[in-house]
Structure 1
Amino acid sequence: MTATQAPAPPVDERIAQSRFLDRLVVRPEVGALLGALLVFAFFSVVTEQFLSLGGASTWLDDASLLGIMAVAVALLMIGGEFDLSAGVMTASTALVTALLATRAGWNVWLALLASLVFALAVGAFNGWLVMRTGLPSFIVTLGTFLALQGINLGVTRAITGSVQVSGMRRTDGYESAGGVFASTVDVGGQAFPASILWWVAVTALAAWVLVRTRFGNWIFAVGGSALSARAVGVPLARTKILLFMTTAFAAWLVGSMNILRFASVQANQGIGGEFQYIIAAVIGGCLLTGGFGSAVGAAIGALIFGMARQGIQYAQWNSDWFMLFLGIMLLSAVLVNNAFRRRAERVRR
């Protein structure tokens, strides 16, 4: 008669080694990365210019300005809110800078500081009003969008007699400010805009904040369940207001790059961009319900935008097809994100 073998001790799930696939699917940006690789491979095959230095500079530049905004919008969406004024805000900040520099004679750096204060004030107001009234941020920021659009057109026309402000190159401080926000970097004889470096820096900073800091934990908490977050001591109002201010700061940064690069700004510039920022964030893995997403994923979503938009141009296709591409990418991203989220929830149990 053989002795009964003692049962093996249970494995502590906290130290158990998870499979590589399980670790992979919990990353929100995985779907966007696969999509970016497919888009890159496709246009690399069907066009000749896409892989050239000039081609890469073009689609990276296209993606960079969108990417800066998409990353900030992604943080806000993870926190459970939306900002429909983000697009028009890029024009508002550029107009404030341009009017102060060209009409009031301010140094460009002082004008940039004033437009930054303006942007942060609008962002703080959006966040405060959402928290104070309990209204959906969709409605609050839609109102801000309409108000800013009217202010942009009305004030610009009243001061300049048109809907455009130009003449930035003749202002004091333009060269030094342009060197920071609108310069280029030579790579193999090809000029790459500094906006690409800003995009990388903003993405890296946002990713670090989101996954390595207490504030990042607060963002996920307030987006997942505001009531539960408040119950465990998360400063709900402060977190959401700061998120709206972050989106406004990103709009100021993009607006500053635009006005210093092109030396002029249209009062109706940026309208419609808010939907592209949200789409890029969703393609990058953010859920519309909040509490789930990635800053890196939003940056990859913007990269897909840039590659597709310029790839269609290089392929000499009708640019109308880009909207079809956007619709397909958005629907695909929503389906993929839901599938990855369900898989991630099973892995974490």
Structure 2
Amino acid sequence: MAGTIAEVAAADERVARVGLLRRLLVKPELGSLVGALIIFVFFSSLSDVFRSLPGVANWLDPASTLGIMAVAVALLMIGGHFDLSAGVQIGTAGITTGLLTTYYGLNTWMALLASLALVLAIGLANGYLVVRTGLPSFIVTLGTFLMLQGLNLGVTKIVTNTVQVNNFDQVAGYPILHAIMASTINVGGTEFQIAIVWWIVATIAGSYLLLRTRFGNWIFAVGGEKNASTNVGVPVMRTTVTLFMITSLAAWFVGNTQIVRLTSIQAQAGFGQELIFIVAAVIGGCLLTGGYGSAVGASLGALIFGMTSQGIVYAGWDADWFKFFLGAMLLLAVLANQFVGRFAQSRR
């Protein structure tokens, strides 16, 4: 009898013993965690400033807003889709809030709600078109990207006669917005941007959503196999549309954080950032084919981005090397993900 039970356990992965190595290797965030540690040690050896408290504050700053977007983009990628309009939506959100308040005198909070409604409608349209037409999300959101890019620039020029919206610090309620979105927290005499706190909140929320809710199960199911998900009753359309709207929500927050912090926003804000979001998610362990990844891994990918961008400066290198490092990390991440996938399959 004992032999029979052992044979069944060996044949059924649900009851078989799983070794520590395998459990670690199948964690999506493992590679990005190792990469982050290597990057930290590498640049710390080149610059004392990099590992100092002010240095940490400097490289956590760019990582924070990128991390908020990377978490949302990672959820969408796990669900099997991309949003190439995510970066431009940042500009759309900030420009809408800025124009409605500084040029049309709308109440600040109403302007924020209006810009939120606009970007959520964009996310809804993206998700609906992807599901209903069956077109790749790459194509649908590329079209949205181009339209929003032209709209942001055209409307800004018509209203302001320039390519930016200024004087946002003059609107009513600005001090409250600044406290929420752009204030700093003093730690050991060093000022850290509050966006870092929102980044942590976004990472925790994204992880909880993925790993502790029914909707998280739907995300993995839809990204893994859409047809099978439909057959077992997963609401594919609702899940996909919601994921696109979550990405738009993150873009709204980051876009308004930018205009609050800088008191102005360029018509080209967010342009080109969509690929950086995807790179951070892939470095964090998300597969390009969907169905695999984590919010924590995406945040670690953003952390690697922040450390590399500032570490190169502290090391005294030419900033052009940043793109080289980013490309190398992307390639290594894809190869590592491929290895992990094959390893997990071979052990089943």
Q: TM-score, normalised by structure 2?
A: 0.96
Corresponding residue of 1:178? 178
Secondary structure, counterpart of 1:191 in structure 2: strand
Q: What letter is aligned with 2:91?
A: A
**What are the superposed Cα offsets for residues 251-301 of structure 1, whole Å, 9 maximum, x if unpaired?**
001001101000000001111100000000000001111111111100000
Q: What letter is aligned with 1:54?
A: P
Q: 1:134 to 1:168 in 2, by over 3 A?
A: same
Q: What letter is aligned with 1:52?
A: S
Q: Take 1:48 and 1:27, find their aligned partners in 2: how far apart are those partners?
A: 32
* Of 232-241 and 336-345, the range deviating more from structure 2: 336-345
Q: What letter is aligned with 1:146?
A: L
- The runs of 4+ residues in structure 1 deviating greater than 6 Å are none
Q: 1:234 to 1:7 in 2, by over 3 A?
A: closer
**What are the superposed Cα offsets for residues 92-121 of structure 1, whole Å, 9 maximum, x if unpaired?**
100001011101112322211111111100
**Cα deviation, residue 345, structure 1:** 2.6
Corresponding residue of 1:145? 145
Q: What letter is aligned with 1:233?
A: G
Q: Take 2:283 and 2:340, find their aligned partners in 1: how far apart are those partners?
A: 13
Looking at CA atoms only, which structure, 1 or 2, has the larger radius of gyration?
1
Kindly report which structure 2 residues correspond to 1:6-155, keeping only aligned pairs within 5 A, or say none.
8-11=3-6, 13=9, 14-155=14-155
Q: Take 2:229 and 2:15, find their aligned partners in 1: how far apart are those partners?
A: 27
Q: Take 1:205 and 1:273, find their aligned partners in 2: how far apart are those partners?
A: 23
Q: Take 1:288 and 1:108, find their aligned partners in 2: how far apart are those partners?
A: 39
Corresponding residue of 1:3? none
Q: What letter is aligned with 1:83?
A: D
- The answer to whether the 8 Å contact 1:106/1:172 transfers is no
**Cα deviation, residue 124, structure 1:** 0.3
Secondary structure, counterpart of 2:191 in structure 1: strand
Q: What letter is aligned with 2:345?
A: E
Q: 1:7 to 1:247 in 2, by over 3 A?
A: closer
- TM-align CA RMSD: 1.2
Secondary structure, counterpart of 2:192 in structure 1: strand
**What are the superposed Cα offsets for residues 73-96 of structure 1, whole Å, 9 maximum, x if unpaired?**
011011110000001110110000
Secondary structure, counterpart of 2:340 in structure 1: helix
**Cα deviation, residue 10, structure 1:** 2.0
Q: What letter is aligned with 1:25?
A: L
Work out whether 1:246 is the aligned partner of 2:246: yes
**What are the superposed Cα offsets for residues 210-258 of structure 1, whole Å, 9 maximum, x if unpaired?**
0111101100111111100000000011100000000000000100110
Q: Which runs of 5+ in 2 are unaligned?
A: none
Q: Take 2:331 and 2:216, find their aligned partners in 1: how far apart are those partners?
A: 28
Q: Which runs of 5+ in 1 are unaligned?
A: 1-5
**What are the superposed Cα offsets for residues 33-57 of structure 1, whole Å, 9 maximum, x if unpaired?**
1111000000111012111111101
Q: Take 1:334 and 1:125, find their aligned partners in 2: how far apart are those partners?
A: 30
Secondary structure, counterpart of 2:5 in structure 1: coil
Q: Take 2:32 and 2:268, find their aligned partners in 1: how far apart are those partners?
A: 31
Kindly report which structure 2 residues correspond to 1:267-278, keeping only aligned pairs within 5 A, or say none.
267-278=267-278
Name the % identity.
56
Kindly report which structure 2 residues correspond to 1:281-300, keeping only aligned pairs within 5 A, or say none.
281-300=281-300
Q: Take 2:332 and 2:288, find their aligned partners in 1: how far apart are those partners?
A: 14
Corresponding residue of 1:157? 157
Kindly report which structure 2 residues correspond to 1:186-225, keeping only aligned pairs within 5 A, or say none.
186-225=186-225
**Cα deviation, residue 18, structure 1:** 2.2
- The answer to whether the 8 Å contact 1:28/1:285 transfers is yes
Secondary structure, counterpart of 1:10 in structure 2: helix
Work out whether 1:309 is the aligned partner of 2:309: yes
Corresponding residue of 1:322? 322
**Cα deviation, residue 25, structure 1:** 1.1
- The answer to whether the 8 Å contact 1:100/1:106 transfers is yes
- The answer to whether the 8 Å contact 1:85/1:145 transfers is yes
Q: What letter is aligned with 1:169?
A: D
Q: What letter is aligned with 1:79?
A: G
- The answer to whether the 8 Å contact 1:167/1:264 transfers is yes
Q: TM-score, normalised by structure 1?
A: 0.96
Q: Take 2:157 and 2:112, find their aligned partners in 1: how far apart are those partners?
A: 21
**Cα deviation, residue 346, structure 1:** 3.2
Corresponding residue of 2:233? 233
Q: What letter is aligned with 1:10?
A: I
**Cα deviation, residue 342, structure 1:** 1.6
